[in-house]
Amino acid sequence: MLISPYDKYKEAQTQTANSSKLLLMLYDGAIRFLKLGIEGIEQGNIEKANNNLIKTQAIINELVASLNLEYPIAHNLAQIYEYMIYQLIQANIKKDKQCAEEVLTHLIDMKEAWIEASRVSGM
């Protein structure tokens, strides 16, 4: 399989990113795939909706796996992520745009919070 220069660049970027930047990349990916999933629901394209909602779930599962449970806030984040996954499953089963849009709002808010936190802490 041929790997494009863009794919090589993205792979190198991922491998060299610090943890804060990697976290933001995960949020960006989840937001992008979720928007595509919502678009699929709106278009009645079941395959597009399903594939992108599942990709979003996979990224949120990575966010759960990246939590350091030594900190109390990590448990709260885990609950939020689990709720998002539940909502994505409901969105996928019912092709319910509102469930997906709620998750999108949460992801955007959380991404903005991490951007602010990394800016303040100098990460």
Cα distance between residue 9 and residue 56, in whole Å: 22
Position 86 scores a pLDDT of 98
Cα distance between residue 72 and residue 85, in whole Å: 21
> Which residues of the chain are modeled with pLDDT < 50?
6, 9-10, 14, 16
Position 8 scores a pLDDT of 52
Position 39 scores a pLDDT of 98
Cα distance between residue 91 and residue 110, in whole Å: 20
| Domain 18-121 homologous superfamily, CATH | Flagellar protein FliS (1.20.120.340)
